Homo-oligomer: A and B are copies of this chain.
Amino acid sequence: MIDCVPATAWHGGLYFSFMPYIVTFLPSDRSGPVPAGTRVSDAAALLNETDLHLECGGKGTCGRCEIDLVRGSVKKAGRVMSSGRAGDPARLLACQCTVIGDAVFSVVPERAGEARTLSLGNDIAAIDPALLPSAKDISPVIQTVSLRVKEPCAGAGDSDLLRLERAFSETCGAEQLRCGRDMLCSLPGALRAKDGLVTVRVKRDPGHAEIVSVEAGAAAEKQIGIACDIGTTTISLHCVDLAGGPVLASRSDYNAQIRRGADVITRIEYAGNGKRRAEMRSLVLATINGLIDTALDELEMPADNIFNVAVAGNTTMVHLLLGLPAQGIRESPYVPVVNAPGIMTAAETGIRANPAAAVSIAPGVGSYVGGDITSGLLTTPIIDDDKNISLFMDIGTNGEIVIGNAEFLLAAACSAGPSFEGSGIKCGMRAAAGAIESFETDAAMEKVRLGVIGGGKPKGICGSGLISLLGELYSKGLVDRSGRIADGVPASRVKKIEGTKGLVLVKSAGGHGGSEIVITEADIENLVRTKAAIYAACDLMLSNIGLTFESIAHVFIAGGFGRFIDVEKAVRIGMLPDIPRSRFSYLGNSSLTGATLALLSKARRDQLRAIAKRMTYVDLSSDSRYMDAYVAALFLPHTDLARFPSTGR
């Protein structure tokens, strides 16, 4: 190792400080020139090295961007670090080193693998038919109308557009409609290809009515729209039949932005300049458009036939999707650029669809209560309930809580962390095939019963599995109140992993069979923090308005846990309050369901705007009692056992 050599060095007698060097990443073998002085993590981004992740946004704290310097030198904190002799690489954090010469790096396999459990989800989630609009109320932003346009009469010389407008007003009533150059370019061809039979797409938006496209022939039997929930950790979407509302295909995947930060704050910090804002935008679009591509492939539908998209996401996700500066969200007084971007075009947003497609973006309330929450509320009876007060909680990477009824809506947010989405948990995964979704055991762990989505070999644990697991381990005395693995656990099930203690849930089959599945004390600590943040937020919100959990008529739980939630176990670990179980309803991904309703119906879009307008945001972070409530909840089920009378073991 050579140390203490100034970073800008003499090479062959010439001063090369801005000369590009060749940097290579293994095992992907992505290689190319990067300017001297580039951060190694930025070099990875430059060369599209996707195996490297910066969950902390490049601050050097998460350790996820560990790499081995196989050949060459880098500069780290003013000093030159070199690889040793062959076979003796130096392990470094890519975000803390800069390029000072040609170099070869190897991405640390377990680090790369960790964020790579990117299994596509494509279970079709059924939507409660009672929520869907009736046939006559279906009203996407862009409607498809088939028209028969008359041939021009000799002498009259009526323009193509005039005849189209006449046919339109005969079918749909008179209306002044704008039209753009692209539509006009295709108009004469479309009118003449099928004897005047054309399909027009008409966009209606408050203050705007436009024919966005015209095609020859009658409309396809199926018109499909896309509803998309953009979560910090997970992105999910439905392809929806615009005639009847059923979901034809669903997809979900981790948000590719994860590699630039696990939470919204880190991502906002990362996206601090225009170039990085553009990078973050292209990352989220890569995930969304990738999901759209595979879903439309399955439906054999070209993206150009998609004219309606509805999107819901938290305020930061919407800002990053649109490439808007998001700094205001994380700095006092916590001001977003926009809460209600309204309806944009697919071309503007970059979402894969016909460029003229309408992308309706669910309106948010403020920096920490976004369109995912207003969308979620659309799926609940809370907003119309004039008798009871209910609680809505959406547990994602951020936890959002709404208390209210037809008269008032109070919203608050807390940082829950992505553990219930499988992120930050050693064997965590999204609720997809192979995920353990329920867990039962005896105290000796001799009879372990797993519920696995899809039934095959387990690959990991999803949110509902983690709740079931933690509840079961705690109930059976395998985990103590502070979340530590109990001494009584059979030694064959306990193992040291990365400096923490792990409990083996599924033993490795050896060879090419299934791999070992464990839960570590670090994982349990993450889960306990998450449930504590949520419980404390609900607790404080209620006491602020003089209510207790007992006075809540219904608790609606939203989140990407899985297909169901084991309420009993969730109460047992203190995530949900100890009230009669019949008051709980699990909504699944309510943001996605809400986006689907907004996709289908103008009344729902209007309702969304009304919800956003009448919701009041309560800032818990400025309330000193929040930290007390949180710390008190950092036990299983809680410091104050009197709050959970039904859970005594």
Contacts and interface: CB of A to CB of B under 8 A. Distances in A.
B153 A333 contact: yes
Interface in A132-154: 152-154
Nearest to A342: B178
Nearest to A344: B181
A184 B337 contact: yes
A156 B333 contact: yes
Contacts of A208: 178, 207-208
A340 to B, nearest CB: 8
A199 B349 CA distance: 25
Contact of A152 (B153, B333, B339, B344): B333
B205 A178 contact: yes
Interface in A284-320: none
Interface stretch (A158-166, A257-265, A494-502, A562-570): A158-166
B339 A159 contact: yes
Interface stretch (A60-68, A321-329, A462-470, A474-482): A321-329
Contact of A335 (B159, B338, B348): B159
Interface stretch (A83-91, A185-193, A579-587): A185-193
Contacts of A178: 205, 207-208, 342-343
Interface string A194-223: 000000000001111100000000000000
A511 interface: no
B325 A189 contact: yes
Given A152-B333, A157-B367, A349-B181, A339 B207 contact: no
Give the interface centre of A153, A328, A348, A367 by most chain B CB atoms within 10 Å.
A328
A153 B617 CA distance: 14
A376 interface: no
Contacts of A205: 178
A544 interface: no
Contacts of A158: 335
A450 to B, nearest CB: 45
Contacts of A367: 157
B325 A188 contact: yes
Contacts of A343: 178
A334 interface: yes
Contacts of A182: 348
Contacts of A156: 333
Contacts of A180: 344, 348
A58 interface: no
Contacts of A342: 178-179
A617 B157 contact: yes
A386 interface: no
A492 interface: no
Nearest to A322: B181
Interface string A341-353: 1111000110000
A156 to B, nearest CB: 7
A543 interface: no
A189 to B, nearest CB: 7
A624 interface: no
B176 A207 contact: yes
Contacts of A161: 337-340
B181 A339 contact: no
Interface string A214-237: 000000000000000000000000
A545 to B, nearest CB: 17
Nearest to A325: B188
Nearest to A327: B188
Given A188-B327, A325-B189, A339-B162, A334 B157 contact: yes
Contacts of A153: 333
Contacts of A384: none
B157 A188 contact: no
A628 interface: no
A585 to B, nearest CB: 30
Contacts of A206: 176
B322 A185 contact: yes
Interface of A: 152-162, 176-182, 184-185, 187-189, 205-209, 322-325, 327-328, 332-344, 348-349, 366-367, 617, 619, 622
Q: Which 8 interchain pairs have the tightest Cβ spacing?
A: A154-B333, A152-B335, A157-B366, A161-B338, A181-B348, A159-B339, A188-B325, A160-B337
24 contacts: A152-B335, A154-B332, A155-B619, A155-B622, A157-B367, A157-B617, A159-B338, A160-B336, A160-B337, A161-B339, A177-B207, A179-B338, A180-B344, A180-B348, A181-B348, A184-B324, A184-B338, A185-B322, A188-B325, A188-B327, A188-B337, A189-B325, A207-B209, A208-B208
